[in-house]
Structure 1
Amino acid sequence: MKTEADDTFQARVARHAALADPARLRIVDLLTLGDLSPTELQSELGMPSNLLSHHLRTLEDAGLATRHRSEADKRRSYFRLAAGALDGLVPGVVQNASRVLFVCTRNSARSQLAAALWRQVSSIPSASAGTHPADRIAPGAVDAARRHGLDLPDVAPRSLDDVAAAADFVVTVCDNAHEELPEIRGIHWSVADPLRAGTKEAFDRAFDDIAHRITGLVPRLSAA
């Protein structure tokens, strides 16, 4: 009896074949936590660039990973796990965290939304900060939070220098902050800046992207 369409079956075959290679499985494990550039992956894996390129193309062809250009340095690209790539599969990395610190440039939208969303679903404390904080939270972020039933704290954006602690599990949620802070150990989510477009749709897309990523990260962290 034929229970699955041929194209769906072949997609599953390609995904399992791609994950059968130890290097590609390691890349996918890393991407389950955040987005990484080829340079960052090469440093993490210690493999030649041509071999890494082969593995990344294979993951793209199998529908496991996607790439896009950095909003900061257009010469740079980031790889991220494709939506639904690991449905039915369990990632193999778990980490301890005493606090999750979400960081963007202005601390006026993405990092504020991320910290508030995190508080809804995890007992691990969260905070947010910016490398160059704005004077106030962006009205578009406040409106997006309200549309989704989320309350943002009525506080001014804060500087990373004033908030960060050595034990924080750091999540950068914008390319500018990530590329400005190469010494910070943590994970990166390449979330598009909703302030660039300034539209309701842009803020909703950022909200949905962050919410999806938080859903994936919560079971991967345990309280330190």
Structure 2
Amino acid sequence: MNVERIEPVEARAARHAALGDPTRLRIVDLLTLGDLSPSEIYVALGLPSNLVTHHLNVLESVGMVARSRSEADKRRSYVHLTETALAGLTPGRTERASRVVFVCTANSARSQLAAALWATRSSIPAASGGTHPAERVAPGAVAAAERHALKLAADAPRKLDDVINDEDFVITVCDNAHEELGVTGNLHWSIPDPVRVGSEEAFDAAYDELERRITELAPRLAAH
């Protein structure tokens, strides 16, 4: 796995630690809306000034807040979030890939939907394959794609060995395929098989979960 560090992990950890205190988290929440003087923070939180000062000092020490002198009353200051205050609090881009391959057992539903969804979220090419491919794409998957205005590939289910190469970023989307392949693959998403249930709700649930995970992953995967 290739790892691209956006900033030192230690700096991210320090900000997370600072926000581990509920009062400091509330202060940051307030400052996302606008700048406040320390006295305004005292009033908003109902806390003594010395305690608020302590929390502001902690936030300032990790680079999350800064203070500026009032242009009106020079004795007064305002606290604001820095431009990088919230940077790194969610995972950044960490992987590179030349192609993403989604894998399930039959390559008839989850992996097909995943590859099609990926194409709507990323310019990195995607493909799909199955460890034991079915004869056709599941009608329930076709119907789910139509309900969500998603264009499925015209390809019939394919055997994984005929699709994959050593450079691929592999994501298994079913437990059977993942456990059959063992440690092969980069990521695993444990998504229930909608074909077993067969209902419209099951296919929509699989679609929604795939969409959520792909939307989260796509910005973190850079072209190789």
Q: For residues 108 and 143 of structure 1, what CA distance do their matches in structure 2 show? A: 12
Q: For residues 16 and 177 of structure 1, what CA distance do their matches in structure 2 show? A: 39
SS at match of 1:102: strand
Which structure has the larger Rg over C-alpha atoms?
2
Cross-structure match for 1:101: 101
Q: For residues 154 and 142 of structure 1, what CA distance do their matches in structure 2 show? A: 11
**What amino acid does structure 1 have at the position aligned with 2:200?**
K
Q: For residues 177 and 163 of structure 1, what CA distance do their matches in structure 2 show? A: 15
Please give the residue correspondences for 1:146-165 in structure 2 after superposition, counting only pairs within 5 Å: 146-165=146-165
**What amino acid does structure 1 have at the position aligned with 2:154?**
D
SS at match of 2:128: strand
Q: For residues 222 and 213 of structure 1, what CA distance do their matches in structure 2 show? A: 16
Cross-structure match for 2:193: 193
CA drift of 1:218 comes to 0.5
CA drift of 1:92 comes to 4.6
Q: For residues 130 and 185 of structure 1, what CA distance do their matches in structure 2 show? A: 13
Q: For residues 185 and 133 of structure 2, what CA distance do their matches in structure 1 show? A: 21
Please give the residue correspondences for 1:195-210 in structure 2 after superposition, counting only pairs within 5 Å: 195-210=195-210
- Tell me, yes or no, if structure 1 residue 129 matches structure 2 residue 121: no
What's the % identity of the aligned pairs? 62
Q: Calculate the aligned-residue CA RMSD, in Å.
A: 1.9
Q: For residues 194 and 222 of structure 2, what CA distance do their matches in structure 1 show? A: 30
SS at match of 1:129: strand
SS at match of 1:111: helix
Runs ≥4 residues deviating over 4 A: none
Count residues in correspondence: 142
Where do 5+ consecutive residues of structure 1 fail to align? 1-12, 18-87
Cross-structure match for 1:178: 178
Q: For residues 16 and 102 of structure 1, what CA distance do their matches in structure 2 show? A: 37
Q: For residues 220 and 20 of structure 2, what CA distance do their matches in structure 1 show? A: 22
Distance 1:223 1:176, change over 3 A: same
Q: TM-score, normalised by structure 1?
A: 0.60
